[in-house]
Structure 1
Amino acid sequence: MNSHVPAGDFRIPRDLWALIPVKRFALAKRRLAPQLSPPERAALAKAMLRHVLGVLAGCRGLAGILIVTSDPEAMALARAFGAHVLPDAVESGTNAAVRAGMAALDRAGKGGVIVVPGDVPGITRAEMDAVVDALASAPVVLVPATRDGGTNLLAACPPALMAPSFGPSSFARHLETAQAAGREPCVLHLPGLGHDIDVSADLAALPAALSPVLLRARPGAARPLPSPLEEPLSL
């Protein structure tokens, strides 16, 4: 890992990967328990992951997608989109999963990583293109969450440039970590990526245009798998 090159010498990597940490669907979104039953919460998590994978699969500038999970359904869904799967044998939380994914990409010599949560139903290809474009002039890109001071996207080149610290108030921590490493982050305020679904207020504030994503989470709704990508991804 060469994390000490001058910022002026930085160029966007050709081998840029998306990384998605995915909790077991059965354990997902427990803070939505007052509104949704366990099967509904699991279906919601799966529907949102499907949407995120679909956006990333069509994103220019990405060489591949890696998910870190222990959930067999999430693994199957990811592979249907042509993504690579790193089993999360430890299940020690989001940051541990992200660290494992970053380390795997770094060992494989990948040029950079974009960490994306699986619960951002408003993510668009245009927003991801904006992130990729920002990496042309900054080795770190951050997208803050619209609520709780969290971080909803962290991009870094190389992948192990900085340790992840996701959770409430993590945006300030990531900003400080990047600056301590001599990297001034590019901060993008993106409404789709900024809106994750964790509590009832998030559901209430979701734009009506995104309702199809949530409707697919209804029990019994048809949820066909997409066609795999033509070229299999390898790590």
Structure 2
Amino acid sequence: MIPRGSKPANEYSNPNLLLGVFPTLFPYGFGALEDSSRPVQINFREHVRYLLSYGDRRFEEHYSFIFVLFNILQRRTACFHAQLMTSRPYFQQSAQLLETLSSEDVATALLNISKASYSKVSDERINTLMKHIKVVGGHVMGSAYSRSALRTKIHSLCFNLGLPSLFVTINPADIHSPVALYFAGVDLDLDRVLPEVLRTSYECSQIIATHPVATAKFFNCLIKSILKCLVLGGVLGPTKA
């Protein structure tokens, strides 16, 4: 069950991969992701979401499971959009240009970038490579290019609708919120939260750190409530964006 060998394991259509990587999470060797023998096929992303919502929280509290699965999702997204890009007719010209690149050219460009002396027009081949990386990276969640794509959308809204009339930064302190502790499984009566039933700051920080999914649910619930009460037909009235 546990894979061994000098060759990397295939992560596509390999239901035994995670069973072998995390034997303590799948002690009976069942419940694999992308198992073709399952009568009803489940999407990989939705299956991960289901596992992270398990009642016993063993997947959520595992020290590496969530990071390994997130990395797999990132790579799959990058590969999918790279495949789409390479299937476009215009990519043939870029491919011919990229074929002339050598490892020394890339190393030189990286050295120039690290020295902040890289010019955008210094090498057309490097510019083409960076352009394609940016296009693919813009679809990968958590990447620098995805954040850049979001900033571009914000700038587009400003150009189209004008500057925002109200700019608010919301940064909820999850380690001080009883709601976050409730999502993390702490037995609390949210209608009657008393100081003596709350944990110490260290205990709260420890609980929040070991329950990343609960923290994400708390953040999502809080932001949705704020948008619903203040923006979406709430105090601030109708908005354009």
Structure of larger gyration radius: 2
Q: Give the shorter-chain TM-score range.
A: under 0.3
Q: Which has the higher contact order (CA 8 A, sep 6+)?
A: 1
* TM-score, normalised by the number of residues in structure 1: 0.23
Which protein is richer in helix relative to its size?
2
Where is the strand percentage greater, Structure 1 or Structure 2?
A: 1
Instruction: Provide TM-score, normalisation by structure 2.
Output: 0.22
